[in-house]
Amino acid sequence: MISEDHLDFMHALWSRRTTYTYIFLVLNILIFVMMELAGGTTNEATLMAFGVKSNPEIDQGQVWRFVTPIFIHIGLLHLFFNSYALWMVGPQVEKLYGSARFVLLYVLTGVAGVVGSYFYHPDVISAGASGAIFGLFGVLAVFGLKYRKTIPPFFKKAVGAGVLPVIVINLIIGFSFPAIDNSAHISGLLAGALLALLIPFHQPGAETGRGLITVQAAIVVVVCASFYQVASNYEGPSFSFRNLSLGWGQVVGTKSSVEEFIDAVNLAQRNFQTLSERLDEEKGEDPGSLKKSAAEAIEAIDALKRAPSMGAEPDGLTNQLLRLMEEQYQLITDIERTGTKTFAHNLRLKENTREYAKVMRTFSDWVENDGRRYGIQMGKRP
């Protein structure tokens, strides 16, 4: 039989709103979509521009990178698992501690996770809400032990010792995969446990003090100011809706939009040169050779049409290269139709070759001047 006091406790607790859990969920998704518009969440240039943890940049004064990584995710699966975990555990903590304390707990444990990664993995970039989520698990574990004598017995199963198996399993998973930054998980977990020892939960019926509301507002301002710094210092790829279809297809995060762009340009470059050399030879009129050339031209044209947008200048260069490949294809079909290569055909081939050289010089200049923004270097794949 559940006592009336315990029923009142549960009613007061679960009638509380969990506003900030869903604000943080929406913020994670919004930033993810923006990153996909800017070249993809697996592209290092995009990640750096949006504020992932990077020790050299932090050492140069970009301290907002201790905050922004909490809301950045690398790949769709990373976003999905962290969002699901936040959706499951966030409401429990926010209902227990109230929105003001929840904001404090979530952001501070997230920052603790970034700090742990900063010290234990200084050579790699990192991001994700995992440190904050482990922090929330740490809060629930300590809450269950700290208030074990006052909370309803049936409620103890969901907190305290009941959380420990989840923590242990996730830590084991973290240690099993080198790509997972367990230092962030452990740091966030320990920070959450410590904060739960120091900060009391929000008693049913109690009012939130002005001091806590002020702290909550200050933390929200810090988060906003951190992303303002990201916007002010942004030097990443340009935003384009053309990148979204590629981004959502990167379920496991193996290829970025920049890599798709470079692959398309490299394919067009190889095929154009091969076609030009083949057409310049005497066997350029051979039906089998023409058929092969037409297929290679179509392959390059399709790749360029699917290439993601990288901004006005690179998109303009891609369009010029696309026009040249289409001209090469028209030249091939004309030779195929007439059955012979005429003097006019040779003039068109030479003109296309000159235009191609001009486009590639401009492309090389763009890579040299602006390639760093996109993680592109001359002679090196991003």
Last residue of a domain, one of 245, 264, 290: 245
Identify the pLDDT of residue 253: 45
Q: What are the pLDDT digits (tens) for 9-29?
A: 666 677 788 999 999 999 999
DSSP string covering 230-264:
HHHT--SPPP-GGGHHHHHT-SS----HHHHHHHH
The distance from CA 93 to its chain's CA centroid, rounded to whole angstroms, is 26
DSSP code at position 61: T
Same domain, yes or no: 320 and 174: no
Q: What are the pLDDT digits (tens) for 354-369?
A: 999 999 999 999 888 8
Same domain, yes or no: 101 and 196: yes
Q: Is the pLDDT of residue 158 over 70?
A: no
* Residue 250 placed within a domain: no
| Rounded average pLDDT over 253-276 | 82
Identify the pLDDT of residue 4: 60
Q: Is the pLDDT of residue 190 over 60?
A: yes
| Rounded average pLDDT over 167-196 | 87
Here the CATH number for the domain that contains residue 77 is 1.20.1540.10
Q: Is 121 exposed, middle or buried (0-12, 13-18, 19+ CB in 10 A)?
A: middle
In the chain, the number of structural domains is 2
Identify the pLDDT of residue 157: 66
| Rounded average pLDDT over 340-363 | 91
Higher per-residue pLDDT: 253 or 82: 82
* Residue 382 placed within a domain: no
Least confident of 71-75, 141-145, 153-157, 179-183: 153-157
Active-site positions? Answer: 130, 185
Query: Residue 51 is which amino acid?
Result: G
In the chain, the DSSP E strands lie at none
Question: How many C-beta atoms surround the C-beta of residue 169 within 10 A?
Answer: 10
* Residue 251 placed within a domain: no
Cα torsion 68, 71, 75, 78: sign: positive
303: which 2 tokens?
A: 């790749």
**Residue-range definition of the domain harbouring residue 273:** 256-374
DSSP code at position 54: -
| Rounded average pLDDT over 111-139 | 95
